[in-house]
Amino acid sequence: MREITLTINGESYTREVHEHRTLLHFLRDDLGLTGTKEGCGAGECGACTIIMNGAAVNSCLVLAAEANGSVLETIEGAAKDGTLSALQSAFHEHHAVQCGFCTPGMVMSATDLLRRNPNPSRDEIIDGIEGNFCRCTGYEQIIEAILAASKEGKSHA
Amino acid sequence: MLHEFSYVSPSSMDELLTFLEESGERSTVFSGGTDLFVTIRSGLSRPDFVVDLKGVKELGLLTFDPAEGLSIGACVTVNQLIEDTDVLRHYSVLRDAGSELATFQLRNRATVVGNVVTASPCGDMSSPLLCLGARVKLASAGGEREMPLGEFITGVKRTQIAPNEIVRAITVPIDHLDAVGGYKKLKRIKGHDLGVVAVAMITANDVSRFAISSAAPTPVLLPDFPANVEVAEVQKAAQEAISPISDVRCTKEYRSFMVDVFIRRLMEAA
Ligand SMILES: Cc1cc2nc3c(=O)[nH]c(=O)nc-3n(C[C@H](O)[C@H](O)[C@H](O)COP(=O)(O)OP(=O)(O)OC[C@H]3O[C@@H](n4cnc5c(N)ncnc54)[C@H](O)[C@@H]3O)c2cc1C
Ligand code: FES
Ligand code: FES
């Protein structure tokens, strides 16, 4: 076991963790932040995508111990005071959510994409979410939602 | 779920190399973990200690010097490499190949050195690095050594590395600075996928070089050609040099066929 301290969605946490624990399992099982999903557990599906120190990563392939001192953003931090972010609202309006399993990872990837590139083209959006699988929507509504959110140009933080 | 192991995070090169010397085969080093944690998860690897290289600052350096060339430290990620302006300007084939590797999120963690050390026949970084004449710099408590990349990779997932040793950096000389060329990778789907077969090409100083991935146990570098060589001559040399197999991803005939197609397309585009 080792002690780690990290910031998640602006809040500081200090916990003892097993050294072989993945960051994904730490978030879900130790902290109860179950918004971040586990699909494959092996880097393929993107359901576990979070933003770590400003970069989108697959949290299933990161150790909790490695994240000591990090600043994390997860889906739980997207809505502020019960109000959806512009991107979340766009997902809602464009029917980009069906079963919803891919949505947290998809929103985190799209958040990161819009920070790097506030006005992405359709192709840039497709590239930007290449690491996130969706088994329901056929992606079209998701692409529309991200395009719409980028046009609004609101804060995606 | 991963088996129980200890996480070790040395903060200096001395501490790292001493630990590896003492723990030997019980340790496995990692940087991005995008390969290691997949193999641990599937039970193929069971180290007692996983040793994080990222705490050693000097391993994170990516530097370019017009006289020395490029040095890619052990912890430099693929995204760092492909976003670097010197790489883009002087070694564009590395950018072409790197942007074909896995997904954006994975490239934020996956390292260039980790890709080369994994020595998978379908790894994306080795063939462009072979074309550029890259060298591998190794370090252990006993000292340092250096060798050409072509000698470092010895077989499928096999390299010359010893259990107490790490790759400090991969260096790329200035011999082929500003080469034109490209990287063509065949995948089963348009999105991210491991390569079914891939060809890297560079042309600089009237010399053309080609390297081929996923068509033999190790990436294959063809002998140098004059820049005005005929397509058919390169294709003939490539077919003699490769030994593709049929597997779940495609047949050996399709692999051979696509090697010729990619050579032609790369030469036509150059
Ligand atoms: C979903 C998915 C898709 C992928 N797609 C691709 C793809 O398209 N193309 C491709 O080429 N690869 C792909 N990979 C494989 C992998 O992401 C890359 O090989 C990556 O570059 C490995 O780097 P890493 O830093 O994550 O390696 P790690 O997992 O940290 O290490 C990999 C291996 O190398 C050893 N190692 C690492 N660094 C050193 C060092 N400095 N000295 C000594 N030993 C070292 C480790 O001990 C380990 O055995 C994919 C992986 C996943 C999970
Ligand atoms: S759960 Fe991490 S990529 Fe699938
Ligand atoms: S909405 Fe079901 S997987 Fe995307």
What is the full DSSP assignment across B52-119?
ESTTSGGGG-EEEETTTEEEEETT-BHHHHHH-HHHHHH-HHHHHHHTTSS-HHHHTT-BHHHHHHHT
Q: Does residue A117 have a pLDDT over 70?
A: yes
Model ipTM?
A: 0.94
β-pair partners for B158: B155
DSSP assignment letter at A83: B
Answer yes or no: are the C-beta atoms of A111 and B104 closer than 8 Å: no
The answer, yes or no, to whether any atom of ligand 1 lies below 6 A from the CB of B70, is no
Phi, psi (rounded to 5 degrees) for A105: -65, -40
At residue B189 the predicted structure's pLDDT band, cuts being 50, 70 and 90, is confident
Tokens of B58: 């000097």
Tens of pLDDT, residues B96-129:
999 999 999 999 999 999 999 999 998 999 999 9
At residue A58 the predicted structure's pLDDT band, cuts being 50, 70 and 90, is very high
Q: Does residue B223 have a pLDDT over 90?
A: yes
Tell me which ligand sits closest to the C-alpha of residue B107: 1
pLDDT at B209: 97
Instruction: Classify A2-77 by CATH class.
Output: alpha beta
pLDDT at B130: 97
Q: Does residue A157 have a pLDDT over 50?
A: no
The answer, yes or no, to whether any atom of ligand 1 lies below 6 A from the CB of B29, is yes
Position A112: which residue type?
D
Average pLDDT over chain B reads: 95
Q: Kindly state the average pLDDT of the residues A59-68.
A: 98
At residue A154 the predicted structure's pLDDT band, cuts being 50, 70 and 90, is low
List all residues 6 or more positions away from A6 whose beta carbon is below 8 Å from its beta carbon. Answer: A12, A13, A67, A68, A69, A70, A71, A72
Q: What are the structural domain ranges in chain A?
A: 2-77, 86-151
Number of the ligand 3 atom closest to the C-alpha atom of A100: 1
Q: Based on C-alpha coordinates, what's the Rg of chain A?
A: 15
At residue A112 the predicted structure's pLDDT band, cuts being 50, 70 and 90, is very high
Number of the ligand 2 atom closest to the C-alpha atom of A41: 1
Q: What are the structural domain ranges in chain B?
A: 6-52, 58-172, 180-269
Q: Kindly state the average pLDDT of the residues A44-61.
A: 98
Answer yes or no: are the C-beta atoms of A58 and A43 closer than 8 Å: yes
Q: Is B85 exposed, middle or buried (0-12, 13-18, 19+ CB in 10 A)?
A: exposed
Interval between CA A77 and ligand 3 midpoint (Å): 20
Q: Which CATH architecture has domain B180-269?
A: 2-Layer Sandwich (3.30)
User: Which of B265, B151, B132, B128 is closest to B207 using CA atoms?
Assistant: B132
At residue A46 the predicted structure's pLDDT band, cuts being 50, 70 and 90, is very high
Answer yes or no: are the C-beta atoms of A58 and B192 closer than 8 Å: no
| Interatomic CA distance for residues A17 and A2, integer angstroms | 6
Number of the ligand 3 atom closest to the C-alpha atom of A142: 4
The residue among A13 and B247 whose pLDDT is bigger is: A13
Answer yes or no: are the C-beta atoms of A95 and A36 closer than 8 Å: no
A-B CB pairs within 8 A amount to 73
pLDDT at B194: 79
Query: CATH code for A86-151?
Result: 1.10.150.120
Q: Kindly state the average pLDDT of the residues B191-202.
A: 86
Question: From the candidates B103, B107, B187, B192, which should be mutated to test the interface with A, based on the most A CB atoms within 10 A?
Answer: B103
Nearest to B2 among A22, A58, A130 (CB): A22
CB contact under 8 A, A131 and B9: no
Q: Does residue B62 have a pLDDT over 80?
A: yes
Phi, psi (rounded to 5 degrees) for B47: -70, 150
Interval between CA A134 and ligand 3 midpoint (Å): 5
pLDDT at A153: 63
Nearest to A56 among B1, B33, B105 (CB): B105
Question: Interface of chain A against chain B, CB under 8 Å?
Answer: 2, 18-22, 25, 41-43, 46, 49, 55-58, 60-63, 65-66, 109, 127-128, 130-131
At residue B250 the predicted structure's pLDDT band, cuts being 50, 70 and 90, is confident
User: Which of B49, B47, B51, B70 is closest to B12 using CA atoms?
Assistant: B51
Q: Does residue A156 have a pLDDT over 50?
A: no
| Interatomic CA distance for residues A70 and A80, integer angstroms | 21
Query: CATH code for B58-172?
Result: 3.30.465.10
Q: With pLDDT > 90 as the criterion, what percentage of chain B qualifies?
A: 90
pLDDT at A155: 45
Q: Does domain B6-52 have CATH number 3.30.43.10?
A: yes
User: pTM here?
Assistant: 0.96
Report the half-sphere exposure of B47 (CA within 13 A, side-chain side): 23
* SS3 at position A28: helix
Answer yes or no: are the C-beta atoms of B231 and B222 closer than 8 Å: no
Number of the ligand 1 atom closest to the C-alpha atom of B167: 42
Question: In chain B, which among 9-68 make CB contacts under 8 A with chain A?
Answer: 9, 32-34, 37-38, 41-42, 50, 52, 54
